[in-house]
Each structure stands twice: as structure tokens, then as C-alpha cells.
Structure 1
Amino acid sequence: MFQKKIILVFLGFFLSYNSYGQKKDTLAIKIKKSKFTTKKYNPLSPSKAAFYSAIFPGGGQIYNKKYWKAPIVWGAIGASIYYYTTNSNEYDRFRNAFKLRKQGLKDEFTDSNGDYIISTAGLENAQKVLRKNRDLSLLTGVLLYVLQIVEASVNAHLLQFNTDDNLSINPTISTDPMLIESPKVGLTFKYSF
């Protein structure tokens, strides 16, 4: 019963919220002032944004004047580089210990009495896990790099569209005078040319 009330409150807030199209303060330049304003179309803008992002991660976002996205890109790629180097260093550490143990020498996971702190099977398992984590970190970094290039290009494309508040979604609750107990929920789509 409590969950139904929470869902109804959430739906009430959602349906009373008006969402609108993109604001008019984009990169486009207005050529003439009239009822129908047109924007200057730059076909090279998406390719420039992609080029800047490929050369310097976050550069395309800065070119698109979406400055808040650049630190997100830097943090995401930096985190994947951090995890790659950490996992790679740990993998090398366990790999060297495993090689020394196979040659019958003392490694860093053997105490002064000659007892093993980590077994040989444990060293092998740690190598497998760390290698997998290292490879996943590398794959994540490459994917994030490619995604930020695609995002900059798509954003540059979308900035050239003439969007305003004429295209909006306005969720409403309408009541039926015959059935007052059960309100009807719906969406209103409004567009004008």
C-alpha cells in the first residue's frame, strides 16, 4: 500500500513537469530577424569537433562550448589509465614472485622462516585476475576515448538544429466529468510550423 502511494506521488510530480526543447542560446548565428529566424549552417563543425576530440580528449567538447563535459571526459579516461597502471604493476609483482618461486628462489611473499604467505596457486590466480582487470581497464579506456569523439561530433551536429519551445512535451492529468474518481493520464505533444 505504501509503495502505491509513492508511485502515485512520483507520477503526480512527473506529470506536472513541463519539458521543453533545446534553448535558443546555441552556437548558431542568426542571419535575419523575422518571424522565422534562420541559423548559419556550418557543415565542417562536426568534423572539427571530432578532430579536436581525437587530438586532445575533451577538446571537441570545449570546441562545442560545453565546458562542463571536458572534466568528465578527463576524469573518465584518467580513471581507466589509473586502473590500468595499478593492475599492470600488481600483475608484474605477482608474476615476478611466481617466476622466482618456480626457480626455487625466495620471493616477496615468503617470510623469513621460508613459509609461503601466498601459495603458488594463489599467485597463479592473482595473475589471472589482475591480467583480466588490466585488459578490461584498457578496453574501457579505448571505448571512453572513442565515445567522447562520437559525443563531440553528434553534439556539434545537434547544435545546428533550429530548436525552440514550439516543440514541447507537456504531460497532463485530465479529469472526466462523468467519472470523477478515476483521472485519466496522458501526454500532449505540441508542435507548430
Structure 2
Amino acid sequence: MKNILYIVFLCFFHTAIFAQQDTLTTEKTILKNKELLDRATDPLAPSRAAFYSAIVPGLGQIYNRSYWKLPLVYGGMGTSMYFYFHNQKQYQLLRDDYKRRLKLGSAYDRANERFGQLDDDRIIRAQRQFQKSRDLCLVITLGIYILNIVDANVDAHLQQFNVDDDLSFEPSFQFNEVNQSYQFGMTMRYKF
């Protein structure tokens, strides 16, 4: 008799624990869905996402829960900034070498200098090339930064867009066996 009571007690206790966990999971799911619904109907969400991305690049994507875009934002900006600093360093080295040539004149030792094998015209052209590349990298960085802001704004707008099955558009392609050709058509469906 005691064994049966223990078994009934353990079954009841086991059921109560899992029922409580299931209730907590359901409540968490409801709260999460309510949070997503509130954000999807929030008219300020796009401007908030754009503001966050303007403050810290990628923060708007985190706000929109588009985490896969973060490596694109930071990879693009990091790569262009790397090449910006590389081109700036090369430009400074060439400029310093050219200034040294002008200052020393005929006492300039071409054999011991880094760019000694280049004549003055080539040094000037190389400076201009590195300067153009540096400026282009800065423009690319700014473009990626602006694109990051626009993407966060558009992504937040699109989260408010209704994509239910009640509204659908389906292209259809059918093969006509009589004249051996394809027929193209469209189906638009709206359910109330």
C-alpha cells in the first residue's frame, strides 16, 4: 500500500513540475510574441533603428534582430578603413621622401634611400595615386556607413509589412501540350 502511495505521489509531483515548466515556457512565448507584435506596430521603430545605426554602426541591425548583417557592416567598414590607413601611410612615406629630396638637393643619397631608384616625376605620380586611393577608401567607408543607416530603417519598415497567407501573389507557368508552348499567368488571392 505504501508503495502505491509513493508511486502516486511521485507521478503527481512529476506532473506538477512539468506542468509548471510548460506554463513558464508558454508565458515566455506569449511575452516574446507580444514584444514582437508591439515593435511591429510601433510607428517610431524605423526612426529608432536608423538613429541607433547612426550612433553605433550595426546597432540598428541588432535592434531589428538582423544579426547576420553585422559581419557585412563591420567587414565592409573595417576593410575600407584598413586600406585608407595603408594608403595614407604610403602617401606620407612618399611625401617625406620627396621633401627630403628637395631639402638636400644634390646631397640626397639615392642608393641608401627607400625610394631612391624613382625619379621626382614618379614620386609625385605615386603620391597622387595613393592620395586618390586614400580618398576613395574614405568615400567607400562613408557610403557603407550611410547604407548601414538606410538598411536599418528599411528593415524596420519591412517588419511592419503584412506577409500573411491571406494576401498572396503567385505566378504560374503551364505547358500547353496542344501547341507545345508555355503559358504564363498570375494569380492574386486575398482572403477576408
Residue 185 of structure 1: CA displacement? 4.6
The structure with the greater share of residues assigned to helix is 2
Q: Are residues 40 and 50 of structure 1, via their aligned partners in 2, closer, same or farther at CA, if it must alter by over 3 Å?
A: closer
Aligned to 1:188: 186
Q: Are residues 171 and 131 of structure 1, via their aligned partners in 2, closer, same or farther at CA, if it must alter by over 3 Å?
A: farther
Residue 80 of structure 1: CA displacement? 1.1
Residue 192 of structure 1: CA displacement? 1.3
Answer yes or no: is the 8 Å Cα contact 2:176–2:183 preserved in 1: no
Matches within 5 A, 1:1-193: 28-29=36-37, 41-103=41-103, 104=105, 106=108, 110-112=110-112, 116-165=116-165, 166-172=167-173, 174-180=174-180, 183-193=181-191
Write the distance in 2 (CA, Å) between the matches of 1:94 and 1:112: 15
Write the distance in 2 (CA, Å) between the matches of 1:141 and 1:59: 17
Q: What is the DSSP-based 3-state SS (H/G/I as helix, E as strand, rest coil) of the residue aligned with 1:91?
A: helix
Runs of 4+ in 1 over 3 A off after TM superposition: 168-171
Q: What is the DSSP-based 3-state SS (H/G/I as helix, E as strand, rest coil) of the residue aligned with 2:118?
A: coil
| Structure ranking higher on relative contact order (CA contacts 8 Å, 6+ apart) | 1
Write the distance in 1 (CA, Å) between the matches of 2:185 and 2:152: 32
Q: What is the DSSP-based 3-state SS (H/G/I as helix, E as strand, rest coil) of the residue aligned with 1:29?
A: helix
The alignment yields a C-alpha RMSD, in angstroms, of 2.5
Answer yes or no: is the 8 Å Cα contact 1:28–1:160 preserved in 2: no
Q: Which has more radius of gyration?
A: 2
Q: Are residues 159 and 91 of structure 1, via their aligned partners in 2, closer, same or farther at CA, if it must alter by over 3 Å?
A: same
Percent of aligned pairs sharing the same letter: 36
Give TM-score scaled by structure 2 length.
Answer: 0.72
Q: Are residues 130 and 62 of structure 1, via their aligned partners in 2, closer, same or farther at CA, if it must alter by over 3 Å?
A: same
Q: Are residues 106 and 191 of structure 1, via their aligned partners in 2, closer, same or farther at CA, if it must alter by over 3 Å?
A: farther
Corresponding letter in the other structure for 1:192: Y
Q: What is the DSSP-based 3-state SS (H/G/I as helix, E as strand, rest coil) of the residue aligned with 1:68?
A: helix
Q: Are residues 120 and 76 of structure 1, via their aligned partners in 2, closer, same or farther at CA, if it must alter by over 3 Å?
A: same
Corresponding letter in the other structure for 1:29: L
> 5+ residue gaps in structure 2?
1-32
